[in-house]
Amino acid sequence: MLTTESLSFEYDPANRFEFPDLFLDYGADLLILGESGIGKTTLLHLISGLLRPKSGKVFIDGTSLSTLSDKQLDTFRGANVGIVFQRPHFIHSLTLGENLAMIQFLGKKKSDPVRIKLVLDGLGLLTKINVHPHLLSQGEQQRAAIALAVVNQPKLILADEPTSALDDRNCIKVIELLKCQTKRNFASLVIITHDQRLITEFTETVTLLPMLEPTPNTDH
């Protein structure tokens, strides 16, 4: 479902990252751990195609992202990848239901109000369908962000630090919601975080480590 090979990215010569190869099967979950500044969000953006790597490749469901034009990549991502961003991305002039309808439109999906209601009901948000996102509580906004990620029934769901601002009880609740929604949509799940509390919730874990600087050559 997801394979990465020799991925690297460079913002500038002093700010570069190299990432371990990843493999995730259909319907599987993966936890990627790393401290701040290690490149976690960069990796998520590379996997989703929001950034193009300096070197290496990303394959999703057999498609190499590097073979797609920017326009094709936008369409592919909208149809196949759901992203739970660290800060939810809502259009605040639209209601929650209208935000989900916009996600369907951007993903080139057929307008499906029944699907929208089904997703919101599964997340306990059906009564908020006509509410504007900024009027939702923090917990409701977090669940709404999951709704945005799963409404198009993507093959891959990526979550960036989904529990960083939550207490222990809500942390586990959000992970359970993510896993439940992923299974319900027959999708694969990648969570990228520094939150060590999640280790016990996943069997497959990858830890990002700092790049080793080359040892200076002291030979004369």
Question: The whole model's pTM is what?
Answer: 0.87
Is residue 26 a part of any domain in this protein? yes
pLDDT of residue 172: 86
Q: Would you state the structure tokens that stand for residue 103, as one six-digit string?
A: 């996600």
pLDDT per position as a tens digit, 1-50: 999 999 999 998 888 999 999 999 999 999 999 998 899 999 999 999 99
pLDDT per position as a tens digit, 140-197: 888 899 899 989 999 999 999 988 777 888 888 888 888 988 888 789 999 999 999 9
Is residue 217 a part of any domain in this protein? no
- Amino acid sitting at position 36: S
As beta bridge partners, residue 31 has 191, 205
Domain range for residue 39? 2-207
Is residue 215 a part of any domain in this protein? no
Task: For residue 72, give the CATH number of its domain.
Answer: 3.40.50.300
- Provide the number of structural domains found in the chain: 1
Q: How far apart are CA 212 and CA 193, in angstroms?
A: 21
Is residue 216 a part of any domain in this protein? no
Is residue 214 a part of any domain in this protein? no
Is residue 32 a part of any domain in this protein? yes
Q: Say which DSSP state 137 is in.
A: -
Q: How far apart are CA 169 and CA 181, in angstroms?
A: 18
Q: Would you state the structure tokens that stand for residue 53, as one six-digit string?
A: 């790597």
Q: Would you state the structure tokens that stand for residue 151, as one six-digit string?
A: 């409404």
Is residue 218 a part of any domain in this protein? no
